[in-house]
Structures are given as structure tokens and as C-alpha cells.
């Protein structure tokens, strides 16, 4: 309920300031050569943002960022945390989906999954879109600095974990919620067993969360947190289990706590 109040207050504040219209975000359209399709970005800028100012802002990239998915909810939480001085003013970029099963999964060897989800297995292309088209676009047209956060839940959490493993430096901070490590018999999860110093060297911070969900998802997420504990100390890695939240409700609670924790300097 409290998160609904956050968003309600956020919308009310915008309505009051603009009276006759509600302006939440600018819709940007990118013709992606990598994906061979048009992609939509929903972009929120914080209060006081001005394109001619020398001030720059961190960017929070939201997977499942369509207007009818997680973009409005995440933006409301960010705005509230900024308003309550628990977070630095930030730009929020919601990456709208076209086919999340296609974009958020790597190829699987499981024949049934290939049959049930025939478009899957193209995360490599989507990651290349993020790296070579999406992020450069935002950096070109908005007042950004070098601080970037990636947020993802479920299959989005799987993709965020894949980026953490394979393209770590693409983001400084990761908010990974209920990742779908079951994909391809936990093959991505198993790759985190290998100890690496690259996260520490890059100063990467990772917040991991899971709720009262499928037992496999809970177990895999805890295993993921354990593997990262071998590579990052508690100032750079945090795990929270939200036992009162299920798969449908955990995102708000996890984002609220996770974004606050990721903001901490130590």
C-alpha cells in the first residue's frame, strides 16, 4: 500500500505543477540496426533537469520498461527516494519490450523449452543493442554521467545477471530481483562459481532479492548471492529475502530497499 501512495503522490505532484496535463516521460524511438526494429525508450528526468545546464545525472535503466510494465512504478519509487533525500536525482530509462522471451534469454539446450518458446535465445543481440545503441543514445541526448544502474526481475533478472557476468563494466550497479536461473538447467548460475576479481576491480555493486516464490527460484537466488559473496564484500553485495512478497509483489519492496542500498558510498 505504501508504494501505491508513493506513486499517487508522485502523480499528484506532477498534476499540480502542470495543472492541465500530466507529463511523466518523453518517448524516444530508436531504429535499431542490431535488432532490425524500432525500439521505444521511456525517459524520465528529475525535477530541475535542464538540457543547457552543466549538471549531469546518473541513469537507471529499467528492463520491462514499457508504460504498462515497470516503468511508472520504478519512476515513482525513484522520485520518492529523491524527494526524501535518500537518493541522488537520477534519469530513469524504461526500455519497452517487443519480445522479452527473445531478448532476455540465451540459447537453451532443452528441447521442450525450444518448442514452447520458439523465439528465445537472442540475449546476445539485445546486449549489443544496449551497449552500442541504447546507452550511447541516452548519453548523447541527455545530461548523463558515468554512473549507470541496471534493474531487472525474473527473465529481466536473468538478463541482468548475464550482463553482470559477461559485460560487467556496462553498468556500475545492478538490482537483480528473482532471477530466472532455471533457464537451461541453471547453466548461467553455474558460471558464477568461478571466482573473479573483475567485480571488485571495477567497483561493481550488486543488490539481490527474492520473495516467497517457487522453491527453485529461491534456492537459485540464494546460491547466486553465495557465489557473489566469494567475490564481493558486504559493502558491494547485498542479499535480501522478502518472505511476505510473492513474484507479483516483490519488485516494489526490492526496488525501494535496493536503490537505497545501492546509493550508499560504503
Which residues make Cβ contacts (< 8 Å) with residue 26, sequence separation at least 6? 42, 43, 45
Q: What pLDDT is attached to residue 132?
A: 98
The CB density around residue 105, as the number of other CB atoms within 10 Å, is 24
The residue extents of the domains of the chain are 27-263
For the segment 13-66, what is each residue's pLDDT rounded down to a tens digit? 444 444 577 788 999 999 999 999 999 999 999 999 998 999 999 999 999 999
Given a contact cutoff of 8 angstroms between Cβ atoms, the answer to whether 263 and 87 are in contact is yes
Pairing mode, strands 205-211 and 173-177: parallel
The CB density around residue 79, as the number of other CB atoms within 10 Å, is 25
DSSP state of 88: -
DSSP state of 58: E
Sheet architecture: strand order including 205-211: 26-32, 37-44, 91-95, 57-62, 144-153, 173-177, 205-211, 237-242
Q: What pLDDT is attached to residue 17?
A: 45
Given a contact cutoff of 8 angstroms between Cβ atoms, the answer to whether 13 and 49 are in contact is no
Q: What pLDDT is attached to residue 3?
A: 47
Low-confidence ranges of the chain (pLDDT < 70): 1-19, 195, 266
**Overall fold of domain 27-263:** Rossmann fold (3.40.50)
Q: What pLDDT is attached to residue 187?
A: 95
Q: What pLDDT is attached to residue 19?
A: 55
Distance CA 130, CA 213 (A): 29
Q: What pLDDT is attached to residue 23?
A: 80
Distance CA 58, CA 129 (A): 20
Amino acid at each position: 500500500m505504501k508504494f501505491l501512495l508513493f506513486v499517487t503522490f508522485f502523480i499528484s505532484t506532477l498534476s499540480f505543477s502542470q495543472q492541465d496535463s500530466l507529463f511523466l516521460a518523453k518517448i524516444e524511438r530508436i531504429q535499431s540496426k542490431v535488432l532490425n526494429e524500432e525500439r521505444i525508450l521511456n525517459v524520465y528526468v528529475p525535477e530541475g533537469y535542464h538540457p543547457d545546464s552543466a549538471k549531469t545525472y546518473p541513469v537507471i535503466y529499467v528492463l520491462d520498461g514499457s508504460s504498462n510494465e515497470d516503468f511508472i512504478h520504478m519512476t515513482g519509487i525513484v522520485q520518492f527516494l529523491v524527494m526524501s533525500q535518500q537518493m541522488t536525482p537520477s534519469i530513469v530509462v524504461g526500455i519497452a519490450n517487443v519480445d522479452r522471451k527473445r531478448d532476455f534469454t540465451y540459447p537453451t539446450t532443452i528441447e521442450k523449452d525450444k518448442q514452447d518458446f520458439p523465439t528465445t535465445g537472442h540475449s546476445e543481440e539485445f546486449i549489443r543493442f544496449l551497449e552500442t545503441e541504447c546507452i550511447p543514445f541516452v548519453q548523447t541526448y541527455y545530461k548523463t554521467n558515468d554512473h549507470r544502474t541496471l534493474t531487472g526481475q525474473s527473465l529481466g533478472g536473468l538478463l541482468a545477471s548475464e550482463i553482470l557476468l559477461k559485460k560487467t563494466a556496462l553498468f556500475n550497479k545492478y538490482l537483480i530481483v528473482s532471477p530466472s536461473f532455471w533457464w537451461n538447467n541453471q547453466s548461467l548460475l553455474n558460471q558464477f562459481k568461478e571466482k573473479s576479481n573483475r567485480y571488485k576491480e571495477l567497483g561493481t555493486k550488486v543488490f539481490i532479492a527474492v520473495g516467497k516464490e517457487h522453491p527453485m527460484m529461491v534456492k537459485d537466488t540464494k546460491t547466486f548471492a553465495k557465489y557473489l559473496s566469494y567475490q564481493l564484500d558486504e559493502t558491494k553485495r547485498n542479499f535480501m529475502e522478502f518472505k511476505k512478497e510473492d513474484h507479483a509483489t516483490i519488485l516494489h519492496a526490492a526496488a525501494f530497499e535496493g536503490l537505497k542500498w545501492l546509493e550508499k558510498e560504503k
